[in-house]
Chains A and B, each alone.
Chain A
Amino acid sequence: DIQMTQSPSTLSASVGDRVTITCRASQNINNWLAWFQQKPGKAPKLLIYQASTLEAGVPSRFSGSASGTEFTLTISSLQPDDFATYYCQQYDSYVWTFGQGTKVEVK
């Protein structure tokens, strides 16, 4: 199975900060990677797919990039609504796997 290693597990930040979350795949996943945002008690929400394509309706402060097997989610200017947990997910091959999650909390 493909392993997804996400870091950091927790990130403390302030409104207006630039935030970066990283996910590393254990093998080539051909950029078949998605990023999700999840708030407590809610279902995950798709932010980005195919490593860098922004889902419709998602604010442009969110962006994704890829370099080989390393993937990055960037929030250019953190907003109050962005405090949440973020997950990466590979869908290159079954078994699909998620990263462990990154909780973005108030500094």
Chain B
Amino acid sequence: EVQLVETGGGLIQPGGSLRLSCAASGFAISNHHMTWVRQAPGKGLEWVSVTESGGRTYDADSVKGRFTISRDNSKNAVFLQMNSVRAEDTAVYYCARGDPWVLGHWGQGTLVTVSS
């Protein structure tokens, strides 16, 4: 069974850093593009970043230069390093698997709250 479990969310002050993790099971992430999507409270979905199976990464303009997506195929995990966070980064962050680009499997999400 495909499972994605996000961890690492929490309360963080503006300007701080946080690292989110997405542990995958039931499949090998090395064969898939992996994506982060976020959802601010009461708002819609926003694509954040993708790490393609071949290693290329792409980011939304809103996080470019501040967030970095990475993967560790040996640990079957994907990460999102969040630096210089802002209040508008407050959201539930979801990890999703691409098949190859269709987001067919999602984790349950982890909440990041940016506040002083």
Contact = CB atoms under 8 A, between A and B. Distances in A.
Interface of A: 1, 32, 34, 36, 38, 42-46, 49-50, 55, 87, 89, 91, 94-101
Interface of B: 35, 37, 44-47, 50, 58, 60-61, 94, 101-104, 106-109
Given A98-B46, A101-B44, A43 B102 contact: no
A101 B58 CA distance: 24
B101 A32 contact: yes
10 contacts: A34-B103, A38-B45, A44-B37, A45-B106, A46-B103, A55-B104, A87-B45, A94-B58, A95-B47, A96-B50
A46 B102 contact: yes
B102 A97 contact: no
A2 to B, nearest CB: 11
Contacts of B109: 43
Given A43-B94, A97-B47, A98-B46, A91 B101 contact: yes
